[in-house]
Structure 1
């Protein structure tokens, strides 16, 4: 009953994220359309660049949306773990897009430092203000989900970057209008690019670790082994593997050397192992029990 309720709760969370992502996609493409028109009318390179920024982010959020749909498909005989990795693949792709966007912003900023653009500041301020409101609504929609899911977080960071970018365009437009300070536009673009670059590298690092089936950063494999060896009846633990399917599913498998006991007595040992591993966030455990079979084998199999 408890497990069934847990799955229902996860499905409800997923459905809410689906709806929010769909609304964000509409917002992003809508913003892009109005900023392209505004960029053409005002002659603003920065506004047009911000439109491309929003459009690329809309595509990235669309990738996230599709990934969540795929991720929710049930396990089958061909995919016994299901499609849970799709969200991580999406986060990986999104982080790469974020890095390229940051590099693009740096390039644009450099060119604007060298060749400041003359723009109609009234149009750029008005359009960027509307874009800021729309992007901020998207940030609010995804804020909660970004703390629970790496895929949602990557989309959230896209929108946060868009919001900061739009605010930067507004500030630049105001300063250009009042003081003709054209250098402010590329300066703000560099600051935004640095922030996005830092956050995107964090996502890239975490998603790559999961795709390479690495041990989660917050887990000490030798500490876990020592905890299991404290269980009455356990002699040794070796051939240990810890990896993630995604952020919510951490798998553990190992050979556990036990005293000469009946198979029925291993039920108590496995229950204790699972209870200890829950403290580390591990929720899928596979144990191969042995008795003096792999003597002298290390924790990690080479």
Structure 2
């Protein structure tokens, strides 16, 4: 459901209101709003974490090759994907700042969602590859040098913890940012697994711990990747945003003075934090539409963070067949 695809007649009638000034901060091309400030901050955070990740990736791959550790090599491969994923996230933030135009009236914000979907898919592929390599290691064990592995893994842990904290302080509702965080979190867990494997190898000489922990981390990554893919897919399918209940939204609107009923409510997100809605109102007799619509917008923004709202006010004769679908009557 996209408001930009609705076929509205010229705005020469009072009951319907879709004026640019009525949409609040949710509109894609409304300039320097809070969402733009969040994007700027997130873009900077992703850029610097990308630089640090790429720099350390080379050192970790070298350490894994010299020590023979699958955990380090797998983690370096994951960091390579992270560098690419962070680059995609950074580019998505950059491209999403392009202003809206006649063809894309809500702007380019969904570049972020496409990047998140792609990042989630790469997480799946990497986790599957690590599991495959672990099975190969079980069949043909390889000697792992615990000392070099421990040093490289510990440095990697410091880098990944720093990157995680930098990204975590950003906008957590943005699915593009979340996908970047999950990539870095996967690296952090990989470093922890590599440290644990190195300590066990140094203490006992038991080599199978390296692929075992690699598989364990991969399963955790798969779970996180699924969450990212599901969130991105829901946004692209314009489903109801996570954490929102359409029935609760309807009840909030129906409780506003002057509202006789509300129906045809659609709530979706341009991104995870830019929420939109369209709905039909029926007003009580003698009530002016303007103040009620203003109250509805204020309530939706305050309670649910929905900043872009399209409202159609219906007359009784608009529904000669009776109660329209999804109708919520005031006082019920």
TM-score, normalising length from structure 1? Answer: 0.89
State the match for 1:64 in structure 2: 89
Q: Deviations over 1:131-180 (max 9, x none)?
A: 22222221121111152422112111111111111221122122212211
Q: Which runs of 5+ in 2 are unaligned?
A: 1-23, 26-30, 328-332
Aligned ranges 1:82-101 → 2 under 5 Å: 82-101=107-126
Moved more, 279-288 or 166-175: 166-175
Task: Give the structure with the higher percent helix.
Answer: 1
**Could you list the runs of 4 or more consecutive aligned residues of structure 1 that deviate by over 6 angstroms after TM superposition?**
none
Pick aligned residue for 1:274 from 293, 297, 311: 297
Determine if the alignment matches structure 1 residue 206 to structure 2 residue 231.
Answer: yes
**Structure 1 residues 106 and 286: CA distance shift in structure 2, 3 A:** same
State the alpha-carbon separation in 1 of the partners of residues 153 and 133 from structure 2.
18
**Count of residues in correspondence between the two structures:** 295
Q: Which residue of 2 aligns with 1:55?
A: 80
Aligned to 2:310: 286
CA change 1:213–1:23 in 2 (3 A) is same
Are 1:191 and 2:179 counterparts? no
If asked which structure has higher relative contact order (CA below 8 Å, sep 6+), I would say: 2
Q: CA deviation at 1:191?
A: 2.0
Q: How far 1:259 moved relative to its partner?
A: 4.2
Deviation at 1:108, TM superposition (A): 2.3
Per-residue deviation, residues 4-49 of structure 1 (Å, max 9, x unmatched): xx94654443333222211211222222211222233233333222
RMSD of equivalent CA atoms: 2.2
1:28 correspondence with 2:56: no
Q: Distance in 2 between matches of 1:45 and 1:189?
A: 8
1:296 to 2:317 alignment: no
- Stretch of structure 1 that moved more, 248-257 or 104-113: 104-113
